Amino acid sequence: MTFTLPALPYAATALEPHISARTLEFHHGKHHNTYVVNLNKLIEGTDLASASLEEIIKKSAADASKAGIFNNAAQVWNHTFYWNSMKPNGGGKPTGELAAKIDADFGSFEAFAEQFKNAGATQFGSGWAWLVLEAGKLKVTKTPNADLPMVHGQTALLTMDVWEHAYYLDFQNRRPDYMGAFLEHLVNWDFVADNLKNA
């Protein structure tokens, strides 16, 4: 199938002042779109041409000869998931079953937030911080480059992009400030709660 760049789930200015329209113009309009274009070129005429995005990711993950396909497919998936992990006037603390699950598995929301920010801060180079469900329990993890939870037996619930292009125009080298803004003002806890419910 031919993949297309999914529209942002909000206006380009909706996450300001935390993430600028200029950042989204480059991050979504250029970076994400390039992964989509490259993926379509790479799978054309192959046995993956009619596969779903998730099938392409799983089939190419362990095949070194398909590393280019995996990297582009995973980045299409990761970025789409990331846009949905945020919303205007998001952030703060979750409520309901998700809040109870975080308290049960991490001890407190503050303990989760510390682990999550630490995962983002200690991801050397480019990558992602994740809240995942594994064997019925919530955990924080991080992945380099395009790597993602679905190829490690985990269900992604939330992600934070820590590639420099995600924050550099707005925060320069201040990754911790970007991570703080992400948790305090941007997280779409409704999306996370739905992912947990449907896991």
CA–CA–CA angle 154, 40, 131 (5° rounding): 20
Examine residue 44 and state whether it is found in any structural domain, yes or no: yes
- Are residue 126 and residue 187 in the same domain, yes or no? yes
- Are residue 111 and residue 158 in the same domain, yes or no? yes
- Are residue 114 and residue 189 in the same domain, yes or no? yes
- Are residue 68 and residue 159 in the same domain, yes or no? no
Give the CATH number of the domain where residue 169 resides.
3.55.40.20
How many domains are contained in the chain? 2
Could you tell me what percent of the chain has a pLDDT over 70?
A: 100
143 class by beta-carbon count within 10 Å (0-12 exposed, 13-18 middle, 19+ buried): buried
Tens digit of each residue's pLDDT (9 = 90 or more) over 8-35: 999 999 999 999 999 999 999 999 999 9
Q: Mean pLDDT, to the nearest integer, of 173-179?
A: 94
d(CA 8, CA 116): 24
Examine residue 119 and state whether it is found in any structural domain, yes or no: yes
Examine residue 91 and state whether it is found in any structural domain, yes or no: no
When the pLDDT of each residue in the chain is averaged and rounded to a whole number, the result is: 97
- Are residue 108 and residue 182 in the same domain, yes or no? yes
**Does residue 136 register a pLDDT over 90?**
yes
- Are residue 106 and residue 73 in the same domain, yes or no? no
Tens digit of each residue's pLDDT (9 = 90 or more) over 33-79: 999 999 999 999 999 999 999 999 999 999 999 999 999 999 999 99
Put simply, whether the predicted model's pTM sits higher than 0.85 gets the answer yes
Containing structural domain, residue 27: 21-84
**Does residue 1 register a pLDDT over 80?**
no
- Predicted confidence at residue 44, as pLDDT, reads 96
Could you tell me what percent of the chain has a pLDDT over 90?
A: 96
- Express the helix, strand and coil content of the chain in percent, nearest 5 each: 55, 15, 35
The β-bridge relationship of strands 155-161 and 137-144 is unpaired
What number of other Cβ atoms are within 10 A of residue 111's Cβ? Answer: 14
What number of other Cβ atoms are within 10 A of residue 51's Cβ? Answer: 17
Check if the beta carbon of residue 186 is closer than 8 Å to that of residue 86. yes
- Are residue 52 and residue 104 in the same domain, yes or no? no
